[in-house]
Amino acid sequence: MTRLWLVACALLIAVAAWPQGFRIESDRVAVDEGDWAEWEIAAGTVQLGPEGVRPHRIREQINAVLDAPNFVSGEGVPGGIRAAGTNLAEAANAIDGREDTFWEPDEDAPFRDWWIEVDLGRLVWARKIVVKFAPEGMGDPFLQFKVLTSNGLPAFSQSKAIRFAQAGRSEGLNKSQRVFEFDLKPSQEADADFVGDMFQFVQIVATASARGQGHEVSETRWNSLPEEERGDVIYFLRESSGVLRQIDQDQHAALSESRAGPIKYYRRERPRLAEVEVWTEGDNISLGSLSRGGLIGGTSNTGTERLAIDGDYKTVWTEQVGVSDVGNVDVEFDRELLFDLGTWFWISRVVIGFDRENIAHGFTGAFPNYVINLSNGQRNPDGSLAYAALATRKTADIEPGRFSGLFPHIFYQDNAFPLTRGRYFKMDYRVLIVPNWANSGIRELQLYGRGFLPQVTLQSAPMELGSDPRILSSVHWAADTPPGTQVQFRTRTGNQLDEEIHYFTNAGKEVTEAKYRKLLSFQRGDSTISVVPGADWSSWSPYYTATGAPISSPSPRRYAIVEATLRSDDPGQGALLRGMHIALDWPLASQVIGEVQPRQTQQRGERTTFTLSLQPQFQADNRGFDQVLVVLPSGAAVDLHEVVVGAERVR
């Protein structure tokens, strides 16, 4: 259902402007490249640009730091720089994708404050972290540093600080290497071939500094340096054995020429961190599913299933996976988790992070068994979705875990399968009979794939074609359609628009009008008025697959809604829709009232004279018509007796 949303406060309705996304000309409705943004589009499914609109592309092997600000945590804080021990104002330079900008700790700050912390905005599955320092001539690397990661859990109960673990560190004291790559290992028990780790926060912490002894330079060079860049000057005594011993300047000045050792000049260290990169498997398809119209639920349907796809490791969906006594308990053993992704994707793996934190509180480990299924929306004869099983897990007795290995302690599980087109995810699992009741939990359910979305849809707001009805003649569009891609349109038409009012609490939950009226003023949220097609609207037309196709929706009509669909059978190709227009004609009459007399024949088999009367209401400046087409039932024999216009017989 297409709707126009107008914001309304509890006491005062404020009407917003009708979103256009099109323009009405004398003979057509036109949509240009820049108009698509005003159409109704599921969040995150398309890429809008100056050339038009194309399906969104799911990326592989991405640097999750660069788009961290696009993600907002449960606390309502967007990703990016979370904190820095010093020089917070320049910390964002370390995550801007540029190597000619940098974060430099304040040299006057205590060394313990030489750290920076990045919030990726969501839990990621990362394979490596890359740390880059300023290029030669623009700064120095940290003399020594370490890399820490965290999934966001508190350091201890009730703590506001989060728990970090070391993911890597530089070896020795370094003054020359400027790029460091740290391959990550799982921080929890994982599949034997699981590569990488899952976390949300990254810290870079300096552990050593050369301070005033950054690089040795000549005396001439030292004297030419700006005052703030001049480092230490170190004096040496030459022992009789030839060994050099550091002394102060006054001692060196008092030495004889034979005992005076060399003087070394240094440029101050300029520790400058240019970039922190976190290289992940790719875009997590699960994120944003609910905002693009998806749903998640299942057999238990507790409402907490959404916690498995919120990108937050601190939340967990818990589920019963084992029962001890079913004699007096009604247990549904075969269960399922259902997940509508909101649109179609090319999917190749499902990664699950099971709950490890609650093992000591009655939780057992990972699910003991499950089957991962996908559906592209096709239906079985009974109307149910047709699923394909793509990955199966069964517990073996030799796997470590409680209850003779029924519940494995494998908390990171990677389920890979051939690239598959799908929108609907289903996870089948079975509750086991065990010595004690058993629960498990999923911290995060992540789906990965690649390529342009195989199907995306855009829908216009109701287009008012004018104060008088118009005939929709044909639809035309301009698009780039590489092999394996297609652009299609379809239409609806009508003459009436209705209004619906929706009521919300201050928490954003929709309620009935009666309940809304009972709320206290501070509990009330916005009311919204949506404009929707009225009762006289047609259903959707068949798809128009070629530009120039005639419109099959009823007309003349005052309003029309247009839907565009971009399809692709190749994940490497995506159609580009540039613009479209619908050709309009003026009808000969805005209304024609017709009557046939008699309504039925008196006796079958006998000839009957019928009179067809037409009363047209002409459009302004219309000169009328000179033909009438009458279509009769097949096999009917008819003779035309006469034609009368007004009082004049014309035939």
The answer to whether residues 479 and 616 belong to one domain is no
* pLDDT value at residue 19: 57
3-state secondary structure of 98: coil
The answer to whether residues 487 and 422 belong to one domain is no
The answer to whether residues 146 and 191 belong to one domain is yes
The answer to whether residues 428 and 300 belong to one domain is yes
Domain with 460 in it: 4-56+455-585
CA separation (Å) from 510 to 304, 357, 469, 541? 19, 35, 36, 32
Residue 517 host element (H or E): helix 513-518
The answer to whether residues 461 and 445 belong to one domain is no
Q: Which residues of the chain have pLDDT under 70?
A: 1-19, 325-330, 360-363, 395-407, 590, 619-623
Q: 560, 585, 610: which is the final residue of a domain?
A: 585
With respect to residue 105, please indicate whether it lies within any of the assigned structural domains: yes
The answer to whether residues 238 and 158 belong to one domain is no
> What is the secondary structure of 277-298 as a DSSP string?
EEEEEE--TTTTTTTTT-EEEE
* pLDDT value at residue 362: 57
* pLDDT value at residue 350: 98
The answer to whether residues 51 and 68 belong to one domain is no
* pLDDT value at residue 16: 37
221 φ, ψ to 5°?
-65, -40
CA separation (Å) from 47 to 2, 32, 50? 21, 15, 10
The answer to whether residues 441 and 465 belong to one domain is no
The answer to whether residues 620 and 651 belong to one domain is yes
Using an 8 Å Cβ cutoff, are 168 and 182 in contact?
Answer: yes
The two tokens of residue 196 are 């990488």
* pLDDT value at residue 6: 30
With respect to residue 302, please indicate whether it lies within any of the assigned structural domains: yes
With respect to residue 288, please indicate whether it lies within any of the assigned structural domains: no
| Spatial CA neighbour of 404 closest among 364, 445, 374 | 364
* pLDDT value at residue 53: 98
With respect to residue 287, please indicate whether it lies within any of the assigned structural domains: no
* pLDDT value at residue 357: 85
* pLDDT value at residue 156: 86
Using an 8 Å Cβ cutoff, are 533 and 561 in contact?
Answer: yes
> What is the secondary structure of 595-609 as a DSSP string?
EEESSS-SSTTS---
* pLDDT value at residue 467: 81
The answer to whether residues 313 and 435 belong to one domain is yes
Beta strands in 109-178 (DSSP E): 115-133, 144-150, 165-169
Q: 452, 476, 511: which is the final residue of a domain?
A: 452
The answer to whether residues 531 and 429 belong to one domain is no
**Structural domain count of the chain:** 5
The answer to whether residues 381 and 247 belong to one domain is no
Measured distance CA(492)–CA(582) in Å, rounded: 13
With respect to residue 360, please indicate whether it lies within any of the assigned structural domains: yes
Measured distance CA(463)–CA(29) in Å, rounded: 8
With respect to residue 190, please indicate whether it lies within any of the assigned structural domains: yes
With respect to residue 286, please indicate whether it lies within any of the assigned structural domains: no
The string of pLDDT tens digits covering residues 103-119 is 999 988 999 999 999 99
Using an 8 Å Cβ cutoff, are 293 and 342 in contact?
Answer: yes
Place of tokens 């009179």: 611
> What is the secondary structure of 13-73 as a DSSP string?
B-PPPPP-SSEE-SSEEEE-GGGGGGSEE-TTSEEEETTEEEE-EE-EEEETTTTGGG-B-
Using an 8 Å Cβ cutoff, are 511 and 503 in contact?
Answer: yes
* pLDDT value at residue 637: 78
**Which CATH number belongs to the domain containing residue 354 in this structure?**
2.60.120.260
With respect to residue 141, please indicate whether it lies within any of the assigned structural domains: yes
* pLDDT value at residue 267: 92
Q: 585, 612, 629: which is the final residue of a domain?
A: 585
